[in-house]
Structure 1
Amino acid sequence: MAPPGPRVVVGLLAAWRPLFRGRLLLVTNTLSCGALMAAGDAVRQAWERRLPEGADGPPQPMDLRRTARMFAMGCSMGPFLHYWYQWLDRLFPAVGFKDIGTILKKVLVDQLVASPLLGAWYFLGMGCLEGQSLDTSCQELQDKFWEFYKADWCVWPAAQLVNFLYVPTSYRVMYVNSMTLGWDTYLSYLKHRVSPGWPLLSSHFRPQLLR
């Protein structure tokens, strides 16, 4: 079968372009955030369900409610990211390497403001969806935040430098979402790993802690 010709490719691009304009852009950003966070959780659960060597019995089933909670949490972050990048581009207008100083300021503001806010939002929001008390969720945030934030600094400054240098504003959230499958898998691991004194309230199985 012959590969699709240029007209087909152009037609597909034309069909997708409206999703990145006007009001539809907010919907696209919101649903893509939810879908990628759910996908990250699915990847993490697939890893957790692997039986240790020599273990008997079938693997535990997927916890679809946990994945649904991750989807809901991702969707709740989509509107914030949508407006955050628009605001950041208005505050620090910059195009290309000639404005590298301004772009580095944007990366720094993103790391110092958006990253910790989203980290707190994630742990507190997931705790609420899981039925944790506010005190329990705050304690979990306190226990895990610095581990999350150190990992964030290892991943996102470089990714956001590319984002602010080359990606148009309307595609920024989609770019971030395309980079987050591995990151969302890590977030699912960090939230649901079994730690001493931390029962898994949200899951009907306790995942193997594989390193």
Structure 2
Amino acid sequence: MSSMFKLYQKLLRKYPLCVQSVQAGILMGTGDQIAQNFVERRKIEDLNFMRSAQFVCIGCCLAGPATKTWYGILERYIGSKNSVAAFKKVLLDQGCFAPAFVAVLLTVIATMQGNDIEGVKKKVKADYKDVLCNNYKLWPMVQLANFYFVRLEYQVLVVQTVALFWNTYISYRTNRDVERTHKNV
């Protein structure tokens, strides 16, 4: 196991954006599979692997790069020397990044579900407030610990690990109406 972690550290040092993007994709896809298997209780033949692939793409192309870049910006302008810096990071993260990221995430998911512009607007409007409110129930404390205790290069990993459960919620939340619609067609 330690050799795997050493390989991870080596790759993370050499290719930080790529590694953090891939790990975000894997964990987002896994979150979708947890949602389908355990929350929605689908049978294997009813699993939507395209939906999981879309979550992998969102993690690799959006969540991983966005969080890695955002944490770098926070580190550059605020630093990480003390609890005040961690608190400032949480305020910026939850006050600026989270509302914008939730909107973008919901927009991307709704678009990948095949919605037109009006459908995307409707889905985002229907889900945004609840998702953002639930975000504030989980992420401020996670981020406070993350920004205070965890070295910068591991912060995306910590967030994506916790996000495994968050992604399960997001997957279920953003697909519950889609699945009902497809069953009724």
**Fold conserved (TM > 0.5)?**
yes
TM-superposed CA distance for 1:65, in Å, is 0.7
- Which amino acid in 2 is paired with 1:87? I
Distance 2:51 2:159 in 1: 23
TM-score where L is the length of structure 1: 0.79
Q: How many residues align?
A: 183
Does the 8 Å CA contact 2:107/2:120 hold for their aligned counterparts? yes
In our comparison, the structure showing a higher alpha carbon Rg is 1
Distance 1:171 1:138 in 2: 35
Counterpart pick for 1:87 among 73, 78, 94? 73
Counterpart pick for 1:183 among 166, 169, 175? 166
Q: Tell me the residue number matched to 1:16.
A: 8
Does the 8 Å CA contact 2:110/2:124 hold for their aligned counterparts? no
Q: Tell me the residue number matched to 2:150.
A: 167
Deviations 1:14-51 (A, max 9, x none): 322212114x1111110111111111110111135538
Counterpart pick for 2:27 among 14, 25, 36? 36
Distance 1:171 1:205 in 2: 41
**More helix as a share of residues:** 2
Counterpart pick for 2:60 among 75, 87, 91? 75
**Counterparts in 2 of 1:1-211, with a 5 A limit?**
9=2, 11-22=3-14, 24-50=15-41, 61-76=46-61, 77-95=63-81, 99-194=82-177, 199-200=178-179, 205=183
Distance 2:68 2:4 in 1: 24
Distance 1:59 1:170 in 2: 36
TM-superposed CA distance for 1:102, in Å, is 2.4
Distance 1:14 1:47 in 2: 33
- Which amino acid in 2 is paired with 1:67? S
Does the 8 Å CA contact 2:34/2:168 hold for their aligned counterparts? yes
> The residue matched to 1:131 in structure 2 has which SS?
coil
Distance 2:89 2:128 in 1: 22
- Which amino acid in 2 is paired with 1:177? Q
Change (3 A) 1:49 1:93: closer
TM-score where L is the length of structure 2: 0.90
Unaligned runs of 5+ in 1: 1-7, 52-57, 207-211
What is the root-mean-square deviation of aligned Cα atoms in Å? 2.2
TM-superposed CA distance for 1:60, in Å, is 5.5
Does the 8 Å CA contact 1:49/1:60 hold for their aligned counterparts? no
